[in-house]
Structure 1
Amino acid sequence: MTLHWTRHRSAESSDDEISVELAVLRQHWKQILQIFQKPLIDQDDISCVLSHFQHAVTLLTDEVASQDRPGPILLYFVGEAILDTFFVWSLSCPEYASELKYHQLRCFEFLLSRSQHELLFHKQIFKPLLNLLRSCESSLSLDLIEKHMIVVLNQVCVSITKSPELLEFCFDISAEHGPSRFVIFSLLIPFVHRDGLAGQQARDALLLIMQLSNRNEHIARHIVENTNFCPILATGLSALYSDLPHRLSTNNDECFILTKKEWSESPALAQFMNSLQFSNDVIQIAHPTIGHHLLQYIYHGFLVPVLGPSIHQNTMDEVIAATAYLDLFLRTIHEPALLKVFLKFILCARIDEISLLDTLIQRINYNTKLGLVSLGLFYTLINLNCEDIMYRLIFMYLIPCRHVMCSQRRHISDVEIYGKNAERFLSLIPSFSNKNIFILKEFDEMQRRARSPSRTRSKSVEPDKERSSKRSRILDFFRGRVRPSDQTDKNSNVHNQSHISFIDKTSMKFINIRDHNPTNSIHEWDDPKTRNIAYCAVIFNEFLKELAAITLEHSVQQFDDDQIFDDILPISLML
Structure 2
Amino acid sequence: MSWIRNSPLRASLGKRSTHSPPKDCDPIACYDSFRKHWQQIYDIAKKAQPPKYYPNQDDVLSVVNHLDQMETILLLELKSPISRSNSSCLEFLLSENVLDKLFQWSQLTGKFSNVMREKQLKLFEMLISNSGHELIGREPVARPLLKLLDTCTDCYPPELERLLVILLNQLCVSLLQNMELLGLFFSPPSKDAPAKFIIFSLLIPFIHREGEIGQQARDALLLCMTVSKKIDDVGLYIAENSNICQLLILDLKPHPVTSILTGLSGLYSLLPRKLVIEMDDWHRFTTDDVNELNELNMFMNLLEFCNAIALVAHPKVKTQLLKYLYQGFLVPVMGPALLQVNFLLWFIFCNFLVVV
What TM-score do the two structures reach when normalised by structure 1?
0.51
Give 1:138 shift: 1.3
Q: Does 1:35 align with 2:51?
A: no
% identical aligned pairs: 38
Partner residue of 2:335? 308
Moved over 6 A (4+): none
Query: 2:189 & 2:95 partners in 1: Cα distance?
Result: 22
Query: 1:167 & 1:21 partners in 2: Cα distance?
Result: 34
Partner residue of 1:266? 293
Segments of structure 1 that go 5 or more residues without pairing to the other structure are 1-15, 339-575
Query: 2:76 & 2:64 partners in 1: Cα distance?
Result: 18
Q: Does 1:123 align with 2:150?
A: no
Q: Deviations over 1:415-450 (max 9, x none)?
A: xxxxxxxxxxxxxxxxxxxxxxxxxxxxxxxxxxxx
Q: Which amino acid aligns with 2:80?
A: S
Aligned residue runs from structure 1 range 247-258, under 5 A: 247-252=274-279, 255=282, 257-258=284-285
Q: Does 1:206 align with 2:221?
A: yes
Q: Deviations over 1:526-565 (max 9, x none)?
A: xxxxxxxxxxxxxxxxxxxxxxxxxxxxxxxxxxxxxxxx
Partner residue of 2:7? none
Partner residue of 1:443? none
SS of the residue corresponding to residue 136 of structure 2 reads helix
Q: Which amino acid aligns with 1:43?
A: Q
Give 1:174 shift: 12
- Alignment RMSD: 2.5
Q: Does 1:90 align with 2:106?
A: yes
1:253–1:84 distance in 2 versus 1, CA, 3 Å? farther
Partner residue of 2:87? 71
Query: 1:40 & 1:221 partners in 2: Cα distance?
Result: 44
Residue 229 of structure 2 contacts residue 314 of structure 2 at CA under 8 Å; is this kept in 1?
A: yes
Residue 133 of structure 2 contacts residue 177 of structure 2 at CA under 8 Å; is this kept in 1?
A: no
Give 1:128 shift: 1.9
Partner residue of 2:269? 242
Q: Alignment partner for residue 295 of structure 1, among 322, 327, 340?
A: 322
Give 1:82 shift: 0.9
1:128–1:231 distance in 2 versus 1, CA, 3 Å? same
1:197–1:250 distance in 2 versus 1, CA, 3 Å? farther
1:330–1:259 distance in 2 versus 1, CA, 3 Å? farther
Q: Deviations over 1:300-339 (max 9, x none)?
A: 11111122223335xx6xx3432332223334x1xxxx3x
Give 1:109 shift: 2.5
Q: Does 1:52 align with 2:75?
A: no
SS of the residue corresponding to residue 137 of structure 1 reads coil
Q: Does 1:286 align with 2:290?
A: no
Higher relative contact order (CA 8 A, sep 6+): 2
Residue 65 of structure 1 contacts residue 115 of structure 1 at CA under 8 Å; is this kept in 2?
A: no
1:174–1:328 distance in 2 versus 1, CA, 3 Å? closer
Residue 64 of structure 2 contacts residue 119 of structure 2 at CA under 8 Å; is this kept in 1?
A: yes
Give 1:111 shift: 2.4
Q: Deviations over 1:493-523 (max 9, x none)?
A: xxxxxxxxxxxxxxxxxxxxxxxxxxxxxxx
Query: 2:85 & 2:231 partners in 1: Cα distance?
Result: 29
Segments of structure 2 that go 5 or more residues without pairing to the other structure are 1-24, 48-52, 251-262
Partner residue of 1:26? 35
Aligned residue runs from structure 1 range 106-121, under 5 A: 106-116=122-132, 118-121=134-137
Q: Alignment partner for residue 148 of structure 1, among 153, 163, 175?
A: 163
Partner residue of 2:21? none
